[in-house]
Structure 1
Amino acid sequence: MRDINFTLFPVLKTERLTLRQLINSDADEIFALRSDDKVNKYLDRKPSKSIDDAKTFIQTIKENIQRKNSIYWAITLSGTDKLIGTICLFDFSDHNSKAEIGYELLPDFQGKGIMLEATLKVIAFGIQYIGLSSIEAYTHSENQSSTWLLEKTNFKKNSVDKGNLMMFKFTSKD
């Protein structure tokens, strides 16, 4: 078992992206992301109603990271600092062998391979640095973009839950 410690937040880089820690100045973009009808279409959450909601969300994320309950990245295009989406690992098992992945992207950036690039980097981080042997993801059965992303990153459909949620699982030994 590895002790997950994100005191020094792990900044991840790809060819086009920088995945960095969420900061207070991301509040406008977090509000845009969490209040957008297209982004929220398949998510079971109440949309953000104000910038204060976004600020509260950012504070909650910071507390969850300190408690080692999750690791949550802001997705930015390399060379800029403006948040365009988020990706996270959370719900770690007792022995850090399993976690769940979640992600969202502002509509203007969807369909450009950005989330594929970010997801591959986060999967590699989870396996190499946290020691995950499996990662789970849940998506609505009608969310074709998310289903495509999970299949493209070698997640296998495991089951269909109540409410049309599909569970996908990535295993590092596959």
Structure 2
Amino acid sequence: MNKVTGFPVLETDRLILRQVTPEDAGSLLKYLCSKDVTKHMGLEPFKTIDDALDEISWYQSILEKNTGIRWGITLKGQREVIGSCGFLNMASKHHRAEIGFELSKDYWGQGIAGEALKAVSEYGFERMDLQRIEALIEPLNISSQKLTERHGFVREGLLRSYEFTCGKFDDLYMYSLLKQDFNFS
């Protein structure tokens, strides 16, 4: 699997996906303070700018360790980060990674998360030599299930008590998208 060198900027029709920096902490806090946004992420809503800075620090650490990469989602012509999308738990030997995403509630239902998901998936298959992209989604997160399914992900099964977050064990559906099944057009 190819190591990410430098930080790639991805561009779609409406979006610029770029590196998140400490200067973006206010933007992250603005949308990650919402229970509606964080309820299926295994995170408590953010309360302080330090919570956002910790998240940005995590983005940097997975990049440095080559275990992931997270892009900030911005609308073209605007600097404000309105969400993020990227890979984590990359397994180079197996050419696979998990994908995750979240978006400010102000932008739900506009196709933005799907546009980012497609761009990041395409980057993973074409530039990182991924064969398989996985998405782990809580059973109650119907909108993320529908979004991934619209983009070709297949539900493979239920991982029972897979994660312990926010004081409880969570079941997660395992979804996958294989390179040969991805629509590059």
- Please give the TM-score of this superposition, normalised by the length of structure 1: 0.93
Structure 2 CA distance for aligned equivalents of residues 72 and 96 of structure 1: 20
- The 4+ residue runs of structure 1 with deviation greater than 3 A are none
SS in 1 for 2:120: helix
Amino acid at match of 1:99: A
Deviation digits for residues 136-159 of structure 1 (CA, Å, limit 9, x no counterpart): 001111211101111011000001
Do the aligned partners of 1:96 and 1:130 also contact (CA within 8 Å) in 2?
A: no
Give the one of 142, 145, 154 matched to 2:143. 145
TM-superposed CA distance for 1:33, in Å, is 2.6
SS in 1 for 2:7: coil
Q: How does 1:29-108 map to 2 (within 5 A)?
A: 29-95=27-93, 97-108=95-106
Q: Percent identity over the alignment?
A: 33
For structure 2, the 5+ residue unaligned runs are 161-169
For structure 1, the 5+ residue unaligned runs are none
The number of residue pairs the alignment matches comes to 172
Deviates more, 1:79-88 or 1:61-70: 61-70
- Aligned residue in 2 for 1:27: 25
Deviation digits for residues 81-117 of structure 1 (CA, Å, limit 9, x no counterpart): 1101000111111326000000000001011000111
- Aligned residue in 1 for 2:119: 121
SS in 2 for 1:101: strand
Q: Does 1:9 align with 2:28?
A: no
- Aligned residue in 2 for 1:169: 176
TM-superposed CA distance for 1:46, in Å, is 2.5
Do the aligned partners of 1:92 and 1:99 also contact (CA within 8 Å) in 2?
A: yes
Do the aligned partners of 1:86 and 1:105 also contact (CA within 8 Å) in 2?
A: yes
Amino acid at match of 1:44: G
SS in 1 for 2:98: strand
Structure 2 CA distance for aligned equivalents of residues 167 and 51 of structure 1: 32
